[in-house]
Amino acid sequence: MADSHLNEKEVNKVVLLDELKTRLIAYEEPLKDLRDSL
């Protein structure tokens, strides 16, 4: 039972990392456009 709880935490970590990556990409795109227009 303890193992499955640990795995749940690991999954949460992966989901959070994935969300962070998605947000970074979302911020990066407009920044690239801005840099290109300068």
CA gap 18, 7 in Å, rounded: 16
> Mean pLDDT, 10 residues at a time, over the chain (38 residues)?
75 94 93 89
pLDDT on residue 5: 73
Full-model pTM: 0.55
